[in-house]
């Protein structure tokens, strides 16, 4: 239960530091128990919470174990969560082929289990984002817009909008205005829904958009907001990353 609460309550609310401490306790209890179900939940949860802190190497190892324990007992829900966040880790590292593997794995889990149709739509957006970053520009944008429109889960509103904004920023130079609109939608959704960790990352992407447009002042402002929000979340690794980016444009 500690692992479940850390992953599904504290992390999504942006209480990253609390999530990390709680999931660490859950992992300790799961390892003491030796129970496979408990380990599947605990490794996945602590891996996601380590991602929230910005501890990428630690998160990766935990999530791989989370998938292994999930597959051992055919617990698709945890395998889906672990695969999505492994995809995010590899995306943030610029390893776009590897992240596509894990997004596809998530979609496979989702289709086999026939649960969470909105998460299938999220994964399709994330997969398209990775393809664009790999210079595969054959993307059906209308289908992605439809994915966002059909979403039924509020906590995914901003996540999907940010993904589409990232795609539009990188698909060509003709979609920058549209990209700005979608990133603004992400910011509005995550503010409305209390998704503070994601809100911080929205502002970081917003800063990247302004940096590309040559608007240094707006880029600095966006990164400043991202840093402030993520500090409140306890996302130390992300704060360090964005402080370094801010220093380069200051």
Q: Which residue has the higher pLDDT, 176 or 76?
A: 176
Asked if residues 80 and 119 have their Cβ atoms less than 8 Å apart, the reply is yes
Angle value at C-alpha 31, between 105 and 68, nearest 5 degrees: 20
| Residue 209: closest CA among 159, 162, 243 | 162
What pLDDT is stored for residue 63 in this prediction?
Answer: 97
What is the CATH code of the structural domain delimited by 2-190? Answer: 1.25.40.10
Give the DSSP letter of residue 173. G
What pLDDT is stored for residue 115 in this prediction?
Answer: 77
pLDDT at 112 over 90: no
Radius of gyration of the chain from Cα atoms?
18
pTM beyond 0.85, yes or no: yes
For 20-42, how does the pLDDT look when each residue is reduced to its tens digit (9 = 90+)?
A: 999 999 999 999 999 999 999 99
Question: Per-domain residue ranges for the chain?
Answer: 2-190, 195-250
| Residue 38: closest CA among 73, 86, 9 | 73
Query: What ranges in the chain are assigned the alpha helix state H?
Result: 2-5, 11-13, 16-33, 36-53, 56-72, 76-92, 96-113, 117-133, 141-150, 157-171, 176-193, 196-212, 216-233, 236-249
For 121-179, how does the pLDDT look when each residue is reduced to its tens digit (9 = 90+)?
A: 999 999 999 999 999 988 999 999 999 999 999 999 999 999 999 999 999 989 999 99
What mean pLDDT comes out for the span 54-66?
Answer: 96
For 182-194, how does the pLDDT look when each residue is reduced to its tens digit (9 = 90+)?
A: 999 999 999 999 9
Residue that is written with structure tokens 């999931």 in the block: 23
For 209-229, how does the pLDDT look when each residue is reduced to its tens digit (9 = 90+)?
A: 999 999 999 999 999 999 999
Q: Is 24 helix (H, G, I), strand (E, B) or coil?
A: helix
The residues near 174 (Cβ < 8 Å, ≥ 6 apart) are none
Instruction: For residue 31, count other CB atoms closer than 10 A to its CB.
Output: 13
d(CA 168, CA 209): 10
d(CA 60, CA 52): 12
d(CA 234, CA 52): 9
């Amino acid at each position: 239960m500690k692992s479940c609460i850390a992953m599904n309550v504290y992390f999504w609310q942006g209480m990253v530091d609390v999530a990390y401490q709680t999931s660490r306790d859950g992992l300790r209890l799961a390892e003491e128990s030796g129970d496979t179900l408990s380990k599947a939940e605990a490794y996945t949860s602590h891996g996601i919470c380590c991602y929230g802190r910005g501890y990428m190497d630690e998160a990766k190892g935990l999530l791989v174990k989370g998938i292994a324990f999930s597959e051992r007992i055919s617990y698709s829900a945890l395998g889906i969560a672990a695969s999505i966040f492994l995809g995010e880790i590899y995306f943030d590292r610029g390893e776009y082929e590897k992240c596509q593997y894990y997004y596809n794995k998530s979609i496979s889990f989702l289709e086999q289990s026939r649960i969470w149709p909105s998460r299938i739509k999220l994964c399709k957006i994330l997969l398209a984002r990775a393809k664009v970053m790999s210079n595969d520009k054959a993307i059906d944008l209308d289908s992605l817009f439809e994915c966002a429109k059909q979403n039924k889960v509020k906590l995914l509103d901003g996540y999907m909008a940010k993904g589409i904004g990232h795609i539009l920023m990188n698909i060509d130079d003709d979609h920058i205005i549209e990209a700005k609109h979608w990133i603004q939608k992400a910011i509005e959704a995550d503010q409305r829904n209390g998704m503070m960790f994601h809100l911080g990352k929205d502002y970081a992407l917003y800063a990247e958009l302004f940096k590309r447009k040559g608007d240094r002042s707006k880029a600095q402002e966006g990164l400043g907001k991202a840093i402030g929000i993520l500090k409140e979340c306890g996302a130390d690794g992300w704060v360090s990353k964005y402080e370094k980016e801010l220093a380069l444009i200051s």
